[in-house]
Amino acid sequence: MDANAEGWPYDADEHDPLTALRIPVVGSAWPHWAYIVAFDSGRLDDERTRPTEHETLLLHSYLDAYISHWYNERWKEKMAERPFDIDGGANGVIFRKWGDDDGGYRRRSWQYGPTYVPEHPRVRGEKSPGPLTLVQVMDRIHTIGDEPSKRWLDWKASHPEVFGETAHA
């Protein structure tokens, strides 16, 4: 998935269907580019490691929520010049899927601790969260204290076509 001879400079799969949604599919927890949102495909040894159609909508909505909150129109236009949303100043999120309704995430800036939260099921301890659905993972990313932020809850509630009618609950 590294840059190819035809000039594709990104460490993401140029031909993956998620690329059309501006979600880079990388093969590592440590992509070279500062993607705002990425999906770590790992080895892709079965379909459970790929996002479902609904999970793809969730990833795209997560990216939209981030961009609409943090960026002005000028910066959005600048990012749109590339196939992915990239910002070296953003603490991007790399999502991972271990199996059905079992996902995890990591922040690009993490240097210590587990690679993903929750960790892979084989090494997950009894105190580790998980398994978590992708929505639960996203809620966890937006949680400070005991509850997800109001901004995130409001985003989910305003997108029932993605999160369902009870997204604010």
**pLDDT per residue as tens digits for the range 92-143:** 999 999 989 999 999 999 988 889 999 888 888 888 887 999 999 999 999 9
Spatial separation of the C-alpha atoms in residues 9 and 67, rounded to whole Å: 23
Q: Is the pTM of this model over 0.75?
A: yes
Spatial separation of the C-alpha atoms in residues 145 and 158, rounded to whole Å: 23
Spell out the residues 6+ positions from residue 163 whose beta carbon is closer than 8 angstroms to its own. Answer: 58, 61, 135, 156, 157
Cis upstream peptide for 51 (omega within 30°): no
Per-domain residue ranges for the chain?
17-162
**pLDDT per residue as tens digits for the range 41-56:** 876 555 568 899 999 9
Residue 85 in contact with residue 102, Cβ under 8 Å? no
Which has the higher per-residue pLDDT, 145 or 58?
Answer: 58
